[in-house]
Amino acid sequence: MLTRPSDALKLILNEVSFLSQETISLSKALGRYLSQSLVAPIFLPPFDNSAMDGFAVRCGDINVATSDRPISLKVVGMLKAGDDVEGMRRAMPLQQGCAVRIMTGAPIPAGTDAVIPFEETLTPQGRGGHETCTIPKPVRIGENIRKAGEDVQKGTCVLDKGVRLTPRNMALLAALGFSEVSVTRLPQVALFSTGNELKALGSVLEPGQIYDSNGPTLSLALQELGLKSKILSTPQDTLQDLLNTFQAASEAEVILTMGAVSAGDFDLIPQALEKLGAKVLFHKLAIKPGKPLLFARWEHRFLFCLPGNPVSSLIVFDRFVRPALLKMMGASLLFRQHYTALALHDIKATVGKEDYLRARITWKDGTFFAQLAGSQGSAHLAPLAESHALLVVPESISQIREGEKVEFEFWSETL
């Protein structure tokens, strides 16, 4: 009896939980997940400041200015970014008919209520030295002033627990002065391929041998999630060698194996797990490709035993292992976004199994279109390499006709 993929995912996500938290420097936190929501400790910006290089003025002084009858104001000082706002307030109480030359980011002097950019005045823009500025039009109160707190109010929640840290949201954290953040710690992952036929990259193939592509591929898929992994050398297809390799991997919290989990005479992973005393939670899913996937617990460790066919192993990693790892890493979003495309041709699917088909996606006039990326054989890597997305076809469907809707998820948010 094959386990349904939705039940398998429920089971996996019930077993795994968030790991503990750790505090790390912001500079090391890219791609990590916040273990606590973050509250702004200061206002952003912290003080009223100029959005332009120009003159800080009192609007009331120039509200009748026109290009025919411009108004000249006396320039009584200069403020630049970094000047002490309080000191400047004391030093520069602005009188009627006066203005202050001001640079972007400088604090707004007391008494002024707008900034007029240099290019909107009739005053030549040469550096300094002008005792007056001539203004040809009125300005609105607050114009070109960035008010304290207009971006973020002190005390408000700026990022939620479970958010992934990116250069965009880390810009906000840096501006708010967070030098450190609390994130969920990363799981320790080990992986190994199995198969007498496999040779490591860099060696010369003898007849009957192939390169181990799954080991490097899965390690890269883990890297894409922000995880380093320990890659163990490939055991021979013997029970003893498998057991030794599991022991060598036993420091890890998550162990991924590839191959030897199907129905062949040398598919000895299930036997090895029995010997280890691991508890198998499911083996074999109603999916294509990737049917042989096995999920087990070995004491506190989680074991994902992936099929050996390279396309299958990467697909089941993406759909079943990735959400589990993301949950452990503290992520609030565990699944890829689903989109809908229109099929560019008839697409066959397997009744009784959820199909994952490698596809190329195009975008035209506001609609996604999908076409299969070549052969769907689970050993065919060339179509995988040129695919953008996986079409996900429910188990009840035998065919999608040209022009019908099909659901898909992109391999990556950034193509």
Looking at the DSSP bridge assignments, the partners of residue 370 are: 343, 361
| Binding of residue 215 to Mg ion (CB under 5 A) | no
Q: Please, which residues have CB within 8 angstroms of residue 11's CB and are 6 or more apart in sequence?
A: 3, 281, 282, 295
Alpha-carbon distance of 73 to 91, in angstroms, equals 19
Residue 270 makes contact with ligand AMP by CB under 6 A: no
- Which CB atom, from 336 or from 358, has the smaller least distance to ligand AMP? 358
402: its two tokens: 């040209």
- Under the criterion CB under 6 A, does residue 236 sit at the interface with ligand AMP? no
Stretch that binds ligand AMP, among 9-17, 52-60, 97-105, 191-199 (CB under 6 A): 191-199
Using rule CB under 6 A, residue 123 touches ligand AMP: no
Instruction: Choose one: 55-63, 72-80, 108-116, 303-311; the region binding ligand AMP (CB under 6 A).
Output: 303-311
Select the binding partner of residue 35 from Mg ion, ligand AMP, none (C-beta < 5 to 8 A, by kind). Answer: none
Instruction: Decide the pairing of beta strands 301-306 and 254-258.
Output: parallel
- Under the criterion CB under 5 A, does residue 260 sit at the interface with Mg ion? yes
Residues whose CB falls within 8 Å of the CB of residue 299, separated by 6 or more in sequence, listed in order? none
From the list ligand AMP, Mg ion, none, pick the one residue 197 interacts with, judged by a Cβ distance below 5 to 8 Å according to partner type: ligand AMP
Span from 40-48, 61-69, 262-270, 341-349 in contact with ligand AMP (CB under 6 A): 262-270
Considering the rule CB under 6 A, would residue 264 count as an interface residue with ligand AMP?
A: yes
Among 13-21, 134-142, 308-316, 402-410, which window interacts with ligand AMP (CB under 6 A)? 308-316
* CB distance 327 to 184 below 8 Å: no
User: In this chain, which of 5, 109, 187, 259 binds Mg ion, going by CB under 5 A?
Assistant: 259
Among 310, 323, 330, 383, binds ligand AMP (CB under 6 A): 310
Interaction partner, residue 187 (ligand AMP, Mg ion, none; CB < 5-8 Å by kind): none
What is d(CA 385, CA 373) in angstroms, rounded to the nearest whole number?
9
Sign of dihedral through CA atoms 287, 289, 294, 300? Answer: negative
93 close to 86: Cβ distance less than 8 angstroms: no
List the one residue from 5, 109, 162, 259 that touches ligand AMP (CB under 6 A).
Answer: 259
Instruction: Tell me if 106 contacts Mg ion by CB under 5 A.
Output: no
- Residue nearest ligand AMP, Cβ-based: 308
Let me know: does 170 contact 30? Beta carbons within 8 Å. Answer: yes
Orientation angle between helical segments 269-276 and 239-248, nearest 10 degrees:
60
Integer CA distances (angstroms), 259 to 2, 204, 234, 309, in order = 19, 22, 11, 7
Q: Which is nearer to ligand AMP, 107 or 308 (CB)?
A: 308
Nearest to ligand AMP of 309, 387 (CB atom): 309
Query: Of these, 107, 195, 270, 310, which contacts Mg ion (CB under 5 A)?
Result: 195
CB 261 → ligand AMP: shortest distance, Å? 6
Q: Is 316 in the site for ligand AMP (CB under 6 A)?
A: no
Instruction: Give the footprint of Mg ion on this chain (CB under 5 A).
Output: 195, 259-260, 308
Instruction: Give the footprint of ligand AMP on this chain (CB under 6 A).
Output: 193, 195, 197-198, 210, 212-215, 258-260, 262, 264, 267, 307-310
